[in-house]
Structures are given as C-alpha cells and as structure tokens.
Amino acid sequence: MQRSARHGLRLRRHRHRRLRRRHRQRARLPDRLRTLRALVCRPASGGREPASEARRWQPRPGRRLQGLGRKRSRVSDAIHAIRAAAGLFRLARRGLICVEGGDRVRWLDGMLSNDVASLEPGPDRSGCPALLLTRTGRIQADPQVVTLGDDFWLELDGDAVSATLATLDQFIIADDVSLRDCSAGVERLALEGPMAPRIVDELAGRALGLARDAAIHAELAGVDCVVGAWGVSAMEARQLFVPSGSGEHVIRALLEVGAPWGLVEADPDSLEILRIEAGVPRLGAELDEEVLPPEARLERALSFDKG
C-alpha cells in the first residue's frame, strides 16, 4: 500500500512538472512571435517603423496587367512579321525516334496509320504524317514520318517519345527492327511564313524543290542538316534538323540571310497562336487517347488502301 502511494505521488509530481513546463513554453510563445515579427518586418533603413502586414504585402495595382500588355504587344508584332515574311522558332520540345533494321519498312507500315511503305528518299515522296493508334482506333501519337535511306525518322512531341518507344517495342517479336531515341543528337528549328522556303534555299545555295511533307539532306552554312517541308501554321514552312552544337551557328546564318526578307526570331507563344488559328491539333492539347482521327480532321494521316 505504501509503495503504491509513493508511486502515485511521483506520478502526480511528474504530471505537475510537465504542466508547469508547458505553461512556461506557452507563456514564452508570444514573446518569440513578437521577436520574429520584429526581425522579419525590420525596415532596411533605420529610424522608420515597419509597415503594417496588410500594407506590406499589398500588390501594386496594374503591375501584372502592364506586364501582360507588353507581352501581348510583342507577340502580336511577331505574328504580323511572320505572316508578312517568316519567323524562326527553336523547337526545344520536339523529339526524334530512329527506326532501323532490315524489316523496318514492313514493320513500321503495319504499326502506323499511313502508307509508310510507299515512301522513297528524295524531294518528292520521302515523308508523310501518320498516327499511332490504340486498339480502339484512338490517337496515341502523331509522328511525322521521314525516310532518308537506311532508316526512318519519327518526329513527334518530346513528351511522347518514351511512351511511343515503349508501345512500339512491345510489337517487335521476331523482326529485324531497332528503335533509338535520337532526340539528343539534333537541334530542332522551324521557319514558318511565306518567305520560309526562299530563305532556306538562299542559305543552301540552291533550290531544294521540296514537295509537301518531304525531307532531304542539305548543307546550311557549312553544316549538314536535314530540311523538311511541313509546319503547323497553314503557311509555307521548313523544318530543320541540325546536329547538336551547331544550332547557334545555323541560327545566326539564317537571321543574316533572312534579314532582307524580313525574317524575325519568335518565341513559342507566337507559334502556338498560329497553330490554333490554323486549326492544327497538337498532342497533349487537342489530341489524346480519347480522340478518333476523323474527329480531329486528320484524314491526311490515314491510308485506307495500303497493304
């Protein structure tokens, strides 16, 4: 009994000590908060009282709207210049898949929606738009297919490269086909506007004579590049595949050659506006695995009589 009483007394003393310690901590808390507020709100120059919290964090009226107005004006000026001449864009978010192997033509023709087997290297029929569809016919990827000889290039959105590689790799059973992500080996540029073909031809030193969707090798400013004839603005366009490390050199040469024609370097916002105005759908924006090709008016990417 005595032992139990002593144990209960120790528990009560311990509980009282904890309560007293908690009360002291709570009593010191307002002092700590006042100290922290004084440190945070201390004015930069001595002698001035800190502004109240409401006044200190109140945003300046009209500041955000003024910034948006300047950006809108800059984009609008760029779009007018592109429609009159041409615009140069850096396509950092585009990806590239290389398809190689002896069975690449037959295998890729069976995987994509367009007639890939009919493509031939050259300026006439070396490329076409295509779609990678799900089992129910929905859109999984929208690559631009190009053949340059010993391989095929699938040019598509950079965010879709990994998923597209994983999907295609599942269907390589006993085929002589290999897939590689070649995005890191090239820098992507695009010229959109009515003067785009003339500027590229001027830099190449010859008339490339590209048909729609075709692509060929061409030397631009001493750099071996691939030039393609497709775009997203419903205007004349040229796509450039430049070896990594040579992009800035080619850009400077393009701007120098294109200056008399009115070439301007524009940002991706301008290209996105032109794409939307032209009604060209984009994967991740209007296209996903819930959309059927006819719903997006992508009949050009389909072939109903191949095989």
Residue 78: count other Cβ atoms within 10 Å of its Cβ. 20
C-alpha to C-alpha distance for 285 and 283, rounded to whole angstroms: 5
Which of 238, 239, 228 lies closest to 123 in space, CA to CA?
A: 228
pLDDT at res. 306: 85
d(CA 251, CA 88): 8
Per-residue pLDDT of the chain (307 residues; tens, 9 = 90+): 455 555 555 656 666 666 666 666 566 656 655 655 554 444 444 444 444 433 443 444 444 444 545 556 778 889 999 999 999 999 999 999 999 999 999 999 999 999 999 999 999 999 999 999 999 999 999 999 999 999 999 999 999 999 999 999 999 999 999 999 999 999 999 999 999 999 999 999 999 999 999 999 999 999 999 999 999 999 999 999 999 999 999 999 999 999 999 999 999 989 999 999 999 999 999 999 999 999 999 999 999 998 6
Phi–psi pair at 217, nearest 5 degrees: -75, 140
Residues 6+ apart with CB under 8 A from 230: 127, 129, 144, 212, 213, 237, 239
Kindly report the number of other CB atoms within 10 A of residue 103's CB atom.
Answer: 13
For residue 283, report the phi and psi dihedrals to the nearest 5 degrees: -65, 130
End-to-end CA distance of the chain: 98
Element (H, E) at 35: helix 2-40
pLDDT given at position 60: 46
Residues 13, 14, 17, 18: is their CA dihedral positive or negative?
Answer: negative
Query: Among 184, 189, 224, 180, which residue's Cα sits nearest to residue 204?
Result: 224
Q: What is the pTM of this model?
A: 0.76
Q: Tell me the two tokens of residue 96.
A: 């590239």
Q: Quick one: pLDDT at residue 24?
A: 63
Strand bridging mode 152-157 / 144-147: antiparallel
Place of tokens 């709570």: 26
Residue 107 in tokens: 């295998």
- The confidence score (pLDDT) of residue 39 equals 47
pLDDT at 11: 57
Nearest-CA neighbor of 191 among 242, 154, 120, 245?
242
For residue 237, give both structure tokens. 């366009």
Residue 226 gets the label, from left (phi > 0), alpha (psi -120 to 50) or beta, of beta
